[in-house]
Structure 1
Amino acid sequence: MPGAVIIGAGPGIGQAVARRFAREGFAITLIARSDSTLRAGAEAVALGDVPVLALAADSTDEHALRSALDEAADRHGLPDVVVYNAAIIQADGPGDLPLRGHLDAWAVNVVGALTAAAHVAPAMAARGSGSFLVTGGMPEPKPQYVSLSLGKAGVRTLVTLLDQRYGPSGVHVASVTVAGPVAPGTDFDPDDIAEHYWRLHTQPRRHWEHEALHTGRTGPASPAGQASISSTVS
């Protein structure tokens, strides 16, 4: 049975992606910081007839995240797709955050994705297949969203670096850039956004894209809309 791991399995995109892959018969592993998030996520996916594993780990705790990925592989095998959906989304201008605040945001938005990729992508490359997908945002940097703008720029660079390293061995690395407030029944419905992840995972190698941009039917959203997604997705 194929497997999907979702890191940052909170309400919205994380759970929608889990449901989307579960519909295709994937064994699902959900990784999040809190037990309440994991319970809600497991309940959302449990409607399908696939195994669901819920594991608590903070994406900034390297040992905990690597251990969770190892447990997922032990239970469901090397995943076919890993989705990194953890982020700190907050409004802050130049000089608003102390150094610690920027480091904390960078650790979740970028370094956690690097940790996860470094742990699973080499095995995917050895197998010759797999997808590593990251949730992006902020198509244009905004001075009122400094830490988020820096983080999402970092995600784009990370995707390029990972593709350079693992793409030739068959690992599809890409981001899904969401340019608006995620909410059911809107242009930014999480179930619609989840389709990008499935499409990227199933793309033939000759047609690989490395960024899917979801702007909704009415065009890009304002930065205020971006900030309303959540404070921390994990």
Structure 2
Amino acid sequence: MNDTNHVTVSQEVEQLRAQVVALEELLEVYEQETLEKSVRLEAALVDLQERAQQLAYSEEALRVLKSILESMGDGVMVADEAGRFLFINPAAKQVFGVQPDSSSLEQWTTQQANLGSFYLPDAKTPYPTEQFPLVRAIQGEAVNATEMLVRSPQKDESIWLSATARSLRDDSGILRGGVAVFHNITTIKQTEEALRQSEGRSREQAQRLKQTLRTLQDTQSKLVQSEKMSSLGQLVA
């Protein structure tokens, strides 16, 4: 009986030892997993902090960029790939009289075409809506210093603009919209026109001077001939 009890106790002890060993192994595995999770969590936290700093920097950079664009003397217009206005600075609003939430780019250009607001460099041909610089930019095209005339019936004035536009793409190269910059070249065009008129007047004046010179030369020739005839008459007499 005692031997049987001893065996039973020994078995229970062995079972307990086995359970302890198993628990220790499980605890070791748990501690290892906990450590790995802690490392991953710490890495994720560091990454999150870096992203937060980058986001804060990006937001600050965007605020600075927006401030710069709003203070620019050139007009700036930005639209997404669907033609929705994203940003229009005060200079562009003043030139075009458009508000960011007023309409889509397509609606606005069509409206302006109906009003006869935009013209090609010949100042006579209406500017095709599909050729408007920002429209071309959101379609993936680049526009370099193309000239256009803007006539404002409300202000009864005409403004010459030089437009440059580029597409906006994300890091994957996917088209996300476009941006166009409009530089007022009215003074330059007026100066060019004044120079052309001045050159025209100079050519006319030069032509008149040439004609006057020829007239004087003809008159002088006639006077010389008349004097010769008079002298000859006196000799004959």
Specify the TM-score bucket, using the shorter chain as the normaliser. Answer: under 0.3
Relative contact order, CA 8 A, sep 6+: which one is greater?
A: 1
* TM-score normalised by length of structure 1: 0.23
* TM-score normalised by length of structure 2: 0.23
Give the structure with higher Rg (CA): 2
